[in-house]
Chains A and B, each alone.
Chain A
Amino acid sequence: MTRNEAVRTAERVARESYGRLVAFLAARTRDVAGAEDALSEAFASALRMWPTDGVPDNPDAWLLTVARRRQTDALRRRQTRSTGEEHLQLMAEEIEDAARSAAEIPDRRLALMFACAHPTIERGMRAPLILQTILGLTAIDIAAAFLIPPATMGQRLVRAKMRIKDAGIPFTVPEKEELPERLDAVLDAIYAAYTKGWNEVGDAAPELADEAIWLGRLLVSLMPSEPEAKGMLALMLYAEARRRARRDIDGAYVPLDRQDTAVWDPEMLRSAEQLLRQASAGGPSGRYQLEAAIQSAHTARRMTGADTWPAILALYTHLERLTHSPVVTLNRAVALAETDGPEAAVALLDTLAPDKRMEDYQPYWAARGHLLARLGRKDEAYAALTLAIGLSTDGAVRHYLQGRIGQLADG
């Protein structure tokens, strides 16, 4: 076997096993950083040895055995004989057993995800932590996607892992009464990673979207009876199916209503529809199912020409009651413009105007500008569209809005 082949095998194993092995190694000790260290040493050994010795039949077991040795060495150095030895022995035996029958290494990734999205972990760090511990992404990659300096991201990840250890955050899937709220935190973290990847058109971003979808699939496979996990995966797939249609061949921004539906990915849409159906059959509708249903209605509207705006409006009204989010109100206003006309929509937007969060929220000003333009309130439309341009980070969106301002002057 060549060195390259060994490297590729190690990378493939890393991708498939990284999170499973971290979760397993950290489950008892709660020491995520220690588990990652031990595992990265094991991967380094693999890269050294596999090119000459060949790839072992069960690479997971091999990695686990080496990592286990590193981990117990490190623990032995830290723990005193009287308090630690017995516990250590038990743990070493458990890992040894698992390594021998590594086809069935217990999958504790779900527990690890719940630990990473625990309420005592800072909200903004939950997604980065899951991306690192489950997928093995580096702090540098995560920092690039989250627009944070790498050193800062590194420090925050280290602090979050310390917190898991010091606060004794349990590596368990929460009990029934606690589950809905805790699951929301896991879903929100994965979805936050997806929206980073969706909003940015840069190089690092689409990869992050793929990683988030991979995590979504993993979550659905680990919690097959959980409708919201399916709802979130469906929502991500609806968005992802349209990714390529968002820009024309010149790179110009294309709004949903002008997108070429032939460019939408039919496979992803089918799979999203199926997940949504299963989710709706599976229990009460949560936030992600409702948002996925809205995307399903938009898809039907564009594919069949049916007027699904009343359904979209009803779904947003339901979602607004559930979330009390100004972003949902904004979207409801856009739907309202299609059912009741732009005047009613602007009146609804006016209720959001005092909200400080709207001041630098680009979609608010863009929607406001479009609606005011439809009402012929040109000066106000110009002011709103100008703010929307100033708040855009995407050149294609800026260009589109500049075109809209141009139409104001013409019409």
Chain B
Amino acid sequence: MMLIHHDEPAMAAADQKQLWQDYAAFNEALSKATGASSGERLEPAKSATTVRTAGEKTDVLDGPYADTKEQFAGYFVIDVPTLEEAVAWAKRCPSSRFGSIEIRPLHVPQAGSWK
């Protein structure tokens, strides 16, 4: 799983037409090479609502859970055998130029491990 974190002001300052053309080209190349993959893009972090329950008390707050420069912006899932290939795709992804892409393997439950 590729977790995309954007520096939203930097992203907003980029040439939008070019950016989304690049993204379309990236998606074409990705699906051609690795097959269909799932992914979602999120609305900017200011639209976020954060819910946290501690004991009996639940807080519902406006805004993202952490006030950091780079905010979670979306994800895509790719199926590749090695970390090197995942890094190669992350490097091609236009989002890597406007923030960071965190690569994490999907958890594969061991049979019977949570009985």
Contacts and interface: CB of A to CB of B under 8 A. Distances in A.
A169 interface: no
Given A147-B84, A360-B29, A390 B91 contact: no
Q: Which size bracket describes the interface of B in this complex?
A: 20 to 34
B22 A389 contact: yes
Contacts of A360: 29, 32-34, 88
Contact of B25 (A147, A390, A393): A390
A383 B34 CA distance: 17
Contacts, number: 51
B75 interface: no
Interface residues of A, number: 19
A308 interface: no
A75 to B, nearest CB: 36
Contacts of B18: 402
A402 B21 CA distance: 10
B6 to A, nearest CB: 18
Interface in A355-369: 359-360, 365
Contacts of A395: 97
Interface string B20-39: 01101111111011100000
A319 B22 CA distance: 35
B11 interface: no
Interface string A376-389: 00000001001101
A152 interface: yes
Nearest to A393: B91
Interface of B: 18, 21-22, 24-30, 32-34, 83-84, 87-88, 91-92, 97
Nearest 4 interchain pairs by C-beta:
A390-B29, A390-B25, A360-B33, A389-B25
